[in-house]
């Protein structure tokens, strides 16, 4: 690590964000692992309790939370440069737009009537 910092260019050309390379520690990975297992248990447990409309909301909310934690820590996005963060964010945003546009099309026709 010290090697990388030592060779940073003074004129700030090749690494304008000073994106120092970060190594995620095993302890951090262990916390994430425990978190993911815990929420897997919660989501299974919640599925067997009748909560009406809240059942799918909770299940998908927990899935999204777990996905965000995996992306931020296992996939190191939290420690990446702005370019990578923007790329990931733009990708999910584009996906969201595509889903919403397609959904708007189907929902504004004869939903479920054939």
Partner 1 sequence: MANTVATTHPEVAHHAHDEHVVLPQHRHHFETEEQQREAGSFGMWLFLLTEIMFFGGLFFAYLLYRNWYYPAFAVASNQLNVPEGAINTAVLISSGFCMALGVWAAEVKKKGFLVLMLVLTTFFGLVFLGIKADEYHEKYEKHHIPGASFSTAMFTHPADFGIKEEPIAPDMAEHTQLFFFLYFAMTGMHAFHMVLGIGILFWLTWRAHKGEFSEGYVAPIENFGLYWHFVDIVWLFLFPLLYLINRHPLH
Pick the closer one to partner 1 by CB: 29 or 78: 29
Q: Which residues contact 72 (CB under 8 A, 6 or more apart)?
A: 78
Pick the closer one to partner 1 by CB: 2 or 112: 112
What's the distance, Cα to Cα, between the start and end of the chain in Å? 62
Q: Which residues contact 36 (CB under 8 A, 6 or more apart)?
A: 66, 69, 70
> Where on the chain is the footprint of partner 1 (CB under 8 A)?
4, 7-9, 13-15, 19, 21, 23-26, 29-30, 32-33, 36-37, 40, 43-44, 47-53, 55-56, 59-60, 62-63, 66-67, 70-71, 73-76, 80-81, 83-84, 87-88, 91-92, 94-95, 98-99, 102-103, 106, 111-112
In angstroms, what is the minimal distance from the CB of 46 to partner 1? 8
In angstroms, what is the minimal distance from the CB of 90 to partner 1? 8
Helix ranges restricted to H, the chain? 2-6, 26-47, 54-69, 82-107
- As a whole number of angstroms, the distance between CA 50 and CA 105 comes to 32
């Amino acid at each position: 690590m010290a090697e990388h910092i030592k060779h940073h260019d003074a004129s700030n050309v090749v690494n304008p964000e000073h994106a120092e390379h970060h190594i995620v520690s095993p302890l951090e990975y262990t916390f994430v692992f425990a978190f993911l297992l815990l929420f897997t248990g919660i989501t299974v447990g919640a599925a067997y309790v009748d909560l009406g409309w809240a059942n799918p909301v909770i299940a998908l909310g927990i899935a999204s939370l777990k996905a965000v934690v995996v992306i931020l820590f296992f996939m190191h996005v939290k420690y990446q440069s702005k370019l990578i963060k923007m790329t990931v964010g733009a990708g999910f945003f584009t996906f969201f737009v595509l889903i919403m546009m397609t959904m708007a099309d189907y929902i504004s026709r004869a939903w479920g009537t054939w």
